[in-house]
Amino acid sequence: MRLDLSNLAAIIGMALATYACRGGGYWLFRQIRPTPLIRAVLAFIPGTLFVSYVVPALVAGGVRQMVGAAVTLVIMITTGSLIGAIVGGTGAAWLAYSFL
Amino acid sequence: MTDPVIFTRAGFFQGARESVPLLIGTMPFGLVTGITAHGAGLSILEAVLMSAVVYAGSAQLLALAAWTHPAPIVAATFAAFVVNLRLALMGPVLAPWLDRLRGWRVWLSLFVMADQTWAQSVRTMNAGGNDAAVLLGGGTAMIVVWTIMTAIGHVVGSYIQPPPGHPLFFAALAIFVCMLVNMWRGPRDILPWLIAAVVAIIVSRLLPGGSWHIVSGALCGSLVGGLLEHYRKTPA
């Protein structure tokens, strides 16, 4: 159970930086009075955020990740089961890793 | 949403219950974070503390990959900020809920907000849900599981070190793919999503190792989508 001082300082620094993002984004938003335009833009954030997360990761990950993503996508769209899609997609990625 | 926003125990447990598939998908990610923390020379106490107070997987992995002794305080802090900048965009989306809450309910809900539980809450909110405690419930379940998995990973790390490209880690990405399906609202999303994808790919090449590609992709796509929608509705 060692707690090194410099490690502790780095962890606290990371925690503060992270909360500055988590809480700070909304705190800033509260200071301004959002116009209808800002609201219209915000409505597109959830989808575009996940697109920006997933697409570059898939491009970097190559064919095996694409196979996993395709299976995940198909299961999710057809069954709507989150857990089925995650397990099925990860299984497919695993198979792709083994054979491709 | 016409009903007043409420914040109930039932909402809290609804959020926790609905986050179960997300938790299962995140478990391998937490395990890897614990294993990596062990490999970087952190004690189990330090690894658990990091997961409990930083609570941001990709930032933790990025910082741990470059960990030194003594610890890189400035570099780790900066890495956390850059990787987590996307979280700053997420809070405002939940403004219809958060604006009507007071004090600790707002700031604690935001503290436990993770990408996956946030997406779940956005979906509930957009479907007309008015119990904002869903966000706190899902987030609390997530931070508890995340921290426990880090501890287990740290112990496992003494025995095995799975290679970074292991397919088990795909589970984390699979969640995000599922979130895409949940976020799809119809043809009006096509152009903003295409722009987001292209911008994100380009920026991820130009500025690797942060979340700049996520922030810029989301902002460019959303700006185009929002502007088009706004001026279509209110012609000048």
Assembly ipTM:
0.86
Of B63, B213, B227, the CB nearest to A14: B63
| CA B107 to mean position of chain CA atoms | 16
Token digits of residue B37:
């923390």
Measured between beta carbons, the chain B residues lying within 8 angstroms of A38 are: 226
Token digits of residue A50:
């996940």
**pLDDT per residue as tens digits for the range B162-195:** 776 777 778 878 888 998 998 898 999 999 999 9
DSSP 8-state symbol, B5:
P
CA-based angle B205:B122:B194, to the nearest 5? Answer: 35
Q: What chain A residue is nearest to B73 in terms of C-alpha separation?
A: A10
Of B72, B167, B218, the CB nearest to A90: B167
Q: Is A20 helix (H, G, I), strand (E, B) or coil?
A: helix
The rounded radius of gyration (Å) of the Cα atoms in chain A is 20
How many CB atoms lie under 10 A from the CB of residue B4? Answer: 7
Between chain A and chain B, the number of residue pairs with CB atoms below 8 A apart is: 291
The set of residues, in sequence order, having a beta carbon less than 8 Å from that of A84 and lying 6+ positions away, is A75
**pLDDT per residue as tens digits for the range B71-104:** 989 889 988 998 898 999 999 999 999 999 999 9
**pLDDT per residue as tens digits for the range A24-79:** 999 999 998 788 898 899 889 989 988 998 999 899 888 889 999 999 999 999 99
Subunit contact B183:A46, Cβ cutoff 8 A: yes
Token digits of residue A100:
């491709």
Whether B68 has a pLDDT exceeding 90, the answer reads no
